[in-house]
Structure 1
Amino acid sequence: MADGTFQQDANNQDATDKALAALYAGAPDSVSFRKLRKRILRQTLEAIRAYSMIDANAPRPRWLVCLSGGKDSYSLLAALVDLKWRGALDAEILACNLDQGQPGFPKHVLPDFLARLGVAYRIENRDTYSIVTEKIPQGKTYCSLCSRLRRGHLYRIAREEGCAGVVLGHHRDDALETFLLNLFHGGALSAMAPKLLNDEGDLLVLRPLIHCAEKDLAKFAADMKFPIIPCDLCGSQDGLQRAMMKKLLDDWEEKAPGRRATMWRALQNVRPGHLADATLNDFASFFPKNSG
Structure 2
Amino acid sequence: MQTLTAKQKYNFNKLEKRIRRCVGKAIEDFNMIEDGDKVMVCLSGGKDSYTMLDVLIYLKHKAPINFDIVAVNLDQKQPGFPEDVLPKYLESLGVDFEIVEEDTYSIVKEKVPEGKTTCALCSRLRRGILYKTANRLGATKIALGHHRDDILETLFLNMFYGGKLKTMPPKLISDNNEHIVIRPLAYCREKDIVKFSEVKEFPIIPCNLCGSQENLQRKIIKEMLQSWDKSHPGRLETMFNATQNVSLSHLADTSLYDFKGLKTNQMIEEGDLAFDQPTIIQPEIDSSLYADDEQIADEDKIDIAIINAG
TM-score range, shorter chain: 0.7 to 0.9
Aligned to 1:49: 28
Aligned to 1:206: 182
1:164-243 pair list within 5 angstroms: 164-243=140-219
> Residue by residue, what CA displacement relative to the aligned partner does 1:187-233 show, whole Å, maximum 9, x if unpaired?
10001111111112121000000000000011000000000001111
> Residue by residue, what CA displacement relative to the aligned partner does 1:167-194 show, whole Å, maximum 9, x if unpaired?
0000000000000110011110001111
The two structures have a TM-score, normalised by structure 1, of 0.87
Is the alpha carbon distance of 1:100 and 1:250 closer, same or farther for their aligned partners in structure 2, counting shifts above 3 Å? same
The two structures have a TM-score, normalised by structure 2, of 0.82
Indicate the percent of aligned positions where both proteins have the same amino acid. Answer: 51
Residues 1:133 and 2:106 aligned together: no
Contact 1:141 1:240 in 2 (8 A): no
Is the alpha carbon distance of 1:207 and 1:27 closer, same or farther for their aligned partners in structure 2, counting shifts above 3 Å? farther
Structure 2 portions without partners, runs of 5+: 267-310
Aligned to 1:36: 15
> Residue by residue, what CA displacement relative to the aligned partner does 1:229-282 show, whole Å, maximum 9, x if unpaired?
011111214352111110110111122111111110000111111111001111
The secondary structure found in structure 2 opposite 1:76 is: helix
Contact 1:66 1:96 in 2 (8 A): yes
Equivalent residue for 2:222, pick from 246, 250, 256: 246
Aligned to 1:96: 72
Task: Give the letter aligned to residue 27 of structure 2.
Answer: I
The secondary structure found in structure 1 opposite 2:123 is: helix
Contact 2:34 2:67 in 1 (8 A): no
Contact 2:78 2:105 in 1 (8 A): yes
Contact 1:80 1:89 in 2 (8 A): no
- 1:54: how far off? 2.5
- 1:127: how far off? 0.6
Residues 1:86 and 2:52 aligned together: no
Is the alpha carbon distance of 1:38 and 1:223 closer, same or farther for their aligned partners in structure 2, counting shifts above 3 Å? same
Contact 1:167 1:205 in 2 (8 A): yes
Contact 2:116 2:213 in 1 (8 A): no
Q: Supply the distance in 1 between the matched residues of 2:214 and 2:147 (Cα, whole angstroms).
A: 22
Runs ≥4 residues deviating over 3 A: 25-29
The secondary structure found in structure 1 opposite 2:260 is: helix
Is the alpha carbon distance of 1:140 and 1:256 closer, same or farther for their aligned partners in structure 2, counting shifts above 3 Å? same
Residues 1:110 and 2:86 aligned together: yes
1:55-70 pair list within 5 angstroms: 55-56=34-35, 60-70=36-46
> Residue by residue, what CA displacement relative to the aligned partner does 1:52-75 show, whole Å, maximum 9, x if unpaired?
11345xxx0101100010000000
Paired positions, count: 263
Q: Supply the distance in 1 between the matched residues of 2:3 and 2:170 (Cα, whole angstroms).
A: 29
Note the aligned Cα RMSD (angstroms).
Answer: 1.5
- 1:27: how far off? 6.7
Q: Supply the distance in 1 between the matched residues of 2:65 and 2:77 (Cα, whole angstroms).
A: 33
Task: Give the letter aligned to residue 169 of structure 1.
Answer: G
Residues 1:270 and 2:249 aligned together: no
Q: Supply the distance in 1 between the matched residues of 2:233 and 2:222 (Cα, whole angstroms).
A: 15
Contact 1:63 1:92 in 2 (8 A): yes
> Greater relative contact order (Cα 8 A, min sep 6): structure 1 or 2?
2
Q: Supply the distance in 2 between the matched residues of 1:65 and 1:134 (Cα, whole angstroms).
A: 29
